[in-house]
Structure 1
């Protein structure tokens, strides 16, 4: 199917998403420091937090505890900004959604119906587990929509719980009927986790089952070229980039340029990527202190090195750092200095 190109901005409620490229909420990664790195490069029409456990938030609120670390930066940072929450109780979700709207002034409240991790699904009966019970999803969404009005509520789902129980078309109708302002679909089932390839044909098919709300596709978008292909080929209003942007916060600006028809900016040089990582590190340390911040940064540092020549040696060494001095020394000694292409050219 040939689609109009370039894709126009779309709306989530009254919020204009321009460019129509969203940054996915990712547990353990999309904290305030990472979001700032994405903003520095630009190109994302909507940025999202990590997913927040609504029940844990409510407990902290009732006991006058500090709100979750995953809400670090939310009150002060630039808008638009989406906060994603999860739980299976409509009342708890509505209560937390209202607090996010009133106290944090968020732009969008997103509901996670897609997480496939066992701790969320089998233990908490939340995330993608709820795809088994569309009526429960309806109750959660409708309660949140009422509590958060006029702030829009959105939902993120997978194709189904397993390849044998794909029900995304029916779930999409429920999501819209409950009052959600947009639907994001990851093109795998919960059972698939992140294996195999996202099924964009299935995602595109869902559009015919929606009446008015926009459809956002998610899965395997790891280059500007793939973002362009998704818009030209599939019936989606927006796309969401997830794992591919970890260690590559400039990916959004590259994709946005491609959608405009402008030359796609090249990846930053390895020296520039290293400097980007060090700025990211400083933001994390400023919030959590040297010890905790250094430990937290290990996983991000591995992402920045991924796919580069010598990445394995860097990962092995950065996984052991505990202080700023150790972190900077490992970066200086082991962060890749040559791309794989440069190494091939030299051999």
Structure 2
């Protein structure tokens, strides 16, 4: 049975000081989230994000704790098969997957059931991942228009069902999940129909981002529409995703909206400790403070070292530009730091820019 939540009565509310202010939190009574036979506890998931959630980033998230299930970047199934046929090294997006702790989900994308099934089976049997997730939500043009994949498949829910059925059969007993959006556009919201097809096809869980494909990442995620999906599901859990950036918002997702789990995405890129804070809030415990700026600076340099161990110093310096910008987000002096860090080409330059211009207040 999927997990669920109920709110404690008002007399059981706890008051926590968050960000300098006092906020009454209705602490939910949580059941662990179950994805097939996998227990996800706490029911907080890290979203797969292309270009960001690689092995180095996942190590940073694990360092803080609070995440029930981590995920890789999404993997191009067709590209994986091609590399395999050429006996080449498997994609960088599978860096670390074979050895790192479980549970771990790997997300794959394509529009061909056989290709996805072939890759899913390899991930389940050879890599022994905890969950194989299928991407039906990516809205970027390269995936939708060029490859007719990701959120493009919301136009053909029956095709989604065929894909899920084939991947589920290939991966058994490893659970297969689906991540999607509300629909192609605001006037073509079909997530209710999609949810029923996803469940009937054998998926073990459904994650819904509260925007449409046309929305991209603009506007606000519609949690009201996410909550309306729950009655359409009879056996599998519903995981909500979109605009969760504070512990309070995570608690509210469980107490106000009808979800069994939550997935945190962009907010964790500049706050990888958010999972730990959200997990504490869900337990009714004091919220751990943010790291100091000095601690953040040390964390950034540690992250850089992890990336360089894989890609070398020169390529690592270039790859770390976007992460460095995330670390500085919202800080005084962040603009000057970003302006300089996006130009660095060597590790020496990276260390120098961090030393001189990383925000100090």
- TM-score category, normalised to shorter length: over 0.9
Q: CA deviation at 1:7?
A: 1.9
**1:328 equivalent among 346, 351, 355:** 351
CA distance in 2, matches of 1:3, 1:15: 22
CA distance in 1, matches of 2:217, 2:57: 22
Q: Which runs of 5+ in 2 are unaligned?
A: 8-27
Please report the TM-score for the alignment, with normalisation by the length of structure 2. 0.93
Residues of 1 paired with 2:281 and 2:356: CA distance? 35
Looking at structure 2, the residues matched to 21 and 9 of structure 1 have their Cα atoms a distance apart, in angstroms, of 10
Which residue matches 1:228? 251
Partners of 2:322 and 2:80 lie apart in 1 by: 25
Q: Is the aligned partner of 1:265 residue 2:264?
A: no
Query: What's the CA shift for 1:247?
Result: 2.1
1:308 aligns with 2:311: no
TM-score, normalised via structure 1 length:
0.96
Q: Distance in 1 between matches of 2:173 and 2:44?
A: 23
Aligned residue number for residue 86 of structure 1: 109
* Alpha-carbon distance between aligned partners in 2 of 1:172 and 1:323, rounded to the nearest angstrom: 47
Quote the offset at 1:275 in angstroms: 0.7
Instruction: Specify the alignment match of 2:6 in structure 1.
Output: 3
Q: Tell me how far apart the structure 1 counterparts of residues 89 and 36 of structure 2 sit (CA, whole Å).
A: 31
1:161-216: per-residue Cα shift (whole Å, max 9, x none)? 00010000000000000000000000000000000000000000000000010000
In 2, the alpha carbon distance for the partners of 1:147 and 1:244 equals 34
Return the alpha-carbon distance in structure 2 between the equivalents of residues 274 and 79 of structure 1: 28
CA displacement, residues 73-100 of structure 1 (integer Å, 9 cap, x when unaligned): 0000000000000000000000000000
Q: The residue matched to 1:51 in structure 2 has which SS? A: strand
Residue matched to 1:140? 163
1:38 matched to 2:41? The reply is: no
Structure 1 position 253, deviation (Å): 0.1
Q: Is 2:220 the partner of 1:203?
A: no
Q: How big is the shift at 1:324?
A: 1.1
Tell me the equivalent position of 1:343: none
Measured against aligned partners, the alpha-carbon deviations of 1:292-344 in whole angstroms (never above 9, x if no partner) come to 11100000000000000000000000001111111011001000000xxxxxx
For residues 127 and 283 of structure 2, the distance between their equivalents in structure 1, rounded to whole angstroms, comes to: 33
What count of residue pairs does the alignment treat as equivalent? 337
1:27 to 19, 29, 50: 50
Cα shift readout 1:133-152 (whole Å, capped 9, x = no counterpart): 01110110000000000000
**Runs of 4+ residues deviating >2 angstroms:** none
Partner of 2:91: 68
Unpaired runs of at least 5, structure 1: 339-347
